[in-house]
Copies of this chain bind each other. A is one copy, B any other.
Amino acid sequence: MDDALLVHYRLTPAPGENAADKARGIALEQTAELPARCIPETLLETHVGQLVDLQQTDDNTWNASIAYAPELCGGEATQLLNLLFGNISMKAGILITGIDWPPALLEHFGGPGHGITGLRSLLHLPPHQPLSCTALKPMGSDASALAAMTRAFAAGGVDIIKDDHGLANQPSARFGDRLHACQQAVEQVNARHGGRSLYFPNVTAGPSELLERLAMARDAGCRGVLLSPWLCGLDSLRLARDDFGLAVIAHPAMTGSYFGSEHGLQPEVLLGDLFRVAGADAVIYPNTGGRFGFSLATCEAINDALRRPLGGLHAAMPAPGGGMDMARAAHWIDQYGVDTMVLIGGSLYERGDLRSATRELLATLGR
């Protein structure tokens, strides 16, 4: 299968478990869900994963590669995810370390609608400038308080002001109230100061409400949204892109449990490849040294997965966050490159005056 979806696994067999059996078990479990002897011969060749490589790497670790016919995804992100890790999420010692994507599948899923270049274009930012993003918080603030923060951040010149991903449709600030108050705030400040800040509301919700909120965001004049693919489904990224023309920042909520050392999907596969292929323009991840535990190598692997050449897909913007100090923002741009959007929240709030803190942040970024 030259055009196969080739998935690379690191296997850690349990005591007494044979690596080859484990690998072949994955190929069956993720497709036919039947013993090989129950599968018609024609389907065994076309609709079951084929183990194409198996190498022992140390005493109890093996690298396995399994080729799947792209048709098994049925062209849908939900089934792609199911094929990759649906049932084997409930087994042990299986880590997806990489995916070789067939060009036709990449073209079908389509990747970012805007990507790095498109985000720069929305923000009128030249290629040599890094991007900045902040978050409206805390939960419980009412729409007018959130609009006031939006005004301050916009007056300070931040590029993207996004809702905190916990702002949903709570009584304290209903989605519609918040959307209109914050979008109006950012437009007013832009008009007054000639800025180009954008407000991205969090549209994460169930299927009907997601459709409704995407439409409301577009109709209110937003150019993009925040959503958490693991809360509302990976395919929600495509929906925002294709049916609403909105840019999307993807949030990693609920994904952390897959990042085991022996089980799951490596962060660069899930937050890098999968989020990008499914349509994220920017991907938030917990930067090393913040409140979460990613290593520098993992952060750089995510950056690479988001930006590397991948069929004809746009590159997506890494958005490291999760407790970054504004004083270190320039350091991270040096480390990760200008095609990075630093997400700074708490560190601005700690300064008290959001507008001057934002200006200071941008100055450190040479903006």
Residues of A participating in the B interface, judged by any CB pair closer than 8 Å: 25, 29-35, 37-40, 43, 46-48, 71-79, 81-83, 85-92, 135, 137-141, 164-166, 168-172, 204-211, 228, 231-236, 238-239, 243, 252-260, 263-264, 286, 291-293, 322, 345-346, 349-350
Contact = CB atoms under 8 A, between A and B. Distances in A.
Contact of A29 (B38, B238, B254, B291): B291
A11 to B, nearest CB: 15
A188 B278 CA distance: 41
A205 B76 contact: yes
Contacts of A253: 82, 86-87, 89
Contact of A206 (B38, B135, B233, B263): B233
A33 B138 contact: yes
A206 B235 contact: yes
By DSSP majority rule, is chain A's interface helix, strand, loop, or mixed?
loop
Nearest to A90: B256
Nearest to A350: B38
Nearest to A293: B92
A349 B38 contact: yes
Given A239-B207, A254-B82, A345 B168 contact: no
Given A81-B231, A91-B292, A166 B31 contact: yes
A52 B26 CA distance: 44
Nearest to A141: B43
22 contacts: A25-B291, A29-B291, A31-B140, A40-B141, A43-B139, A43-B141, A47-B140, A47-B172, A75-B169, A78-B231, A81-B254, A85-B257, A87-B253, A89-B253, A90-B322, A92-B293, A206-B239, A207-B207, A207-B236, A208-B243, A231-B233, A257-B258
Contacts of A34: 137-138, 345-346, 349
A77 B256 contact: no
Contacts of A293: 90-92
Nearest to A352: B38
Contacts of A236: 206-207, 233
A17 B141 CA distance: 31
- The listed residue with most B CB atoms (<10 A of its CB), out of A48, A75, A253, is A253
A93 to B, nearest CB: 10
A39 B350 CA distance: 10
Given A31-B140, A89-B255, A90-B256, 16 more contacts: A30-B166, A31-B138, A43-B139, A46-B140, A78-B232, A79-B169, A81-B231, A82-B254, A87-B256, A88-B256, A89-B253, A90-B259, A90-B286, A206-B236, A207-B233, A257-B258
Contacts of A86: 165-166, 228, 231, 253-254
A254 B31 CA distance: 14
Contacts of A79: 166, 168-170, 204, 231
Nearest to A91: B292
B90 A252 contact: yes
A322 to B, nearest CB: 8
A67 to B, nearest CB: 15
- The listed residue with most B CB atoms (<10 A of its CB), out of A25, A73, A137, A207, is A207
Contact of A47 (B40, B138, B206): B138
A137 to B, nearest CB: 6
